[in-house]
Chain A
Amino acid sequence: MSIINNINKAFDHRIRLGIMSVLMVNEKADFKELKELLGATDGNLASHAKALEKEAYIVVQKAFIGRKPNTSYSVTTKGKNAFKKHIEALEKLLGNN
């Protein structure tokens, strides 16, 4: 039972899982890169990023590159730990079956 509790509902979606995976191995990633990597639409990505932001798993940085606004994301320590737990739980579940 306790393993199931570690499965994090916040990561229970392909896009959210993807955002976290990318940010775990990259210091940061901007909106456009994430969109291309995950094959998501603007709205789709934005809403899932928002959900992760609400949990304080990722943070948003808005900046200007030249005159273009640029949104980039990076993972927080809380997010890192939560994601690691999630992966461990997934692996344990698979190991038990």
Chain B
Amino acid sequence: MESSKYLEDIASIKTMMSRSSRFMSLSGLSGILAGVYALVAAVIAHYLIQGHIQLFATNREDFLNLIMRMFASVELAGNLIILFLVTLLLAIGTSIVLTYKKAAKNKESIWDSSSKRLIANFAIPLIAGGIFSIVLIQYGIVGLIAPATLIFYGLALVNASKYTLGDIKYLGLANVIIGLFATQFIGYGLYFWALGFGVFHIIYGAIMYNKYDRQKDEK
């Protein structure tokens, strides 16, 4: 009789500690979808780049060709940036909607001090990485953009893991590692991107979905 009350006390201390400091309603499904978007985007990017290379396979070095090549390069860069932004917005939008739904089900507020802290801690390394990538473009060090984005994204996840499901730390570490790996394979950035943002997200999302979401749906 007495001991069951103590047990209850311990349990409620644990839940209060984690509920007040960690935002637990991140959706696993949104991780899977973000990964799928990233893979689709990587395939489109691959064809855009291949098309661009084939366009100039003839290697004519006259003036007209040079001008055309310049325009096409600018167009390709523009298309890739648009593709990147659309993918990013889709992924963020999906995760907001799904997380909102899950939070409503858990009766957790989506905008409280725990979620704000999570976003701030996630955003700091990510924004630093974004600015750093723009600097890389500025100096024409395009080959390091993919590794840099992977590394900074990974660090953002590791940093955020203290304020949400601890498991995202492993997704973060995996991204940091392949980011560092990618620095030694300049020119294959797209494939590392597809692996980090695509495949890893899908694996992580599936594990999270199994671990946290599915049992709850069955209940």
Q: Which residues of A contact B (CB under 8 A)?
A: 14, 17-18, 20-22, 24-26, 29, 33, 36-38, 87, 90-91, 93-94, 97
**Other-chain contact of B17, A24, A90, A91, A93 (Cβ < 8 Å):** A24
9 contacts across the A-B interface (CB closer than 8 A): A17-B12, A20-B13, A21-B16, A21-B20, A25-B17, A37-B19, A93-B3, A94-B7, A97-B3
Chain B residues with CB below 8 A from A26, complex form = 20-21, 113
Which residue of the partner chain A has the closest CB to B2? A93
| Residue B66 at the chain A interface, CB threshold 8 Å | no
**Other-chain contact of A25, B3, B7, B20, B112 (Cβ < 8 Å):** B20
Q: Let me know if B10 and A21 touch, CB within 8 A.
A: no
Q: Let me know if A22 and B20 touch, CB within 8 A.
A: yes
| Residue B9 at the chain A interface, CB threshold 8 Å | yes
| Residue B6 at the chain A interface, CB threshold 8 Å | yes
Render B4-30 as a binary contact track against A, CB cut-off 8 A, 1 for contact: 001101101110110111000000000
Which residue of the partner chain B has the closest CB to A7? B6
| Residue B79 at the chain A interface, CB threshold 8 Å | no
Q: Let me know if B12 and A18 touch, CB within 8 A.
A: yes
* Interface band, chain B: 10 to 19
Q: Let me know if B3 and A21 touch, CB within 8 A.
A: no
Q: Separation in Å of the B13 CB from the closest CB of chain A?
A: 5
| Residue B106 at the chain A interface, CB threshold 8 Å | no
Q: Which residues of B contact A (CB under 8 A)?
A: 2-3, 6-7, 9-10, 12-14, 16-17, 19-21, 109, 112-113
Q: Separation in Å of the A63 CB from the closest CB of chain B?
A: 16
Q: Separation in Å of the A1 CB from the closest CB of chain B?
A: 14
Q: Let me know if A17 and B3 touch, CB within 8 A.
A: no
6 cross-chain pairs, A with B, having the tightest CB-CB distances, nearest first? A21-B16, A22-B20, A25-B21, A21-B13, A97-B3, A25-B17
**Other-chain contact of A91, B10, B112, B113 (Cβ < 8 Å):** B10
Cα–Cα, bound, A94→B10 (Å)? 10
Q: Separation in Å of the B45 CB from the closest CB of chain A?
A: 43
Cα–Cα, bound, A97→B14 (Å)? 21
Which residue of the partner chain B has the closest CB to A30? B113
Chain B residues with CB below 8 A from A38, complex form = 16
Cα–Cα, bound, A83→B16 (Å)? 14
Q: Let me know if B113 and A33 touch, CB within 8 A.
A: yes
Which residue of the partner chain B has the closest CB to A37? B20
Which residue of the partner chain B has the closest CB to A29? B20
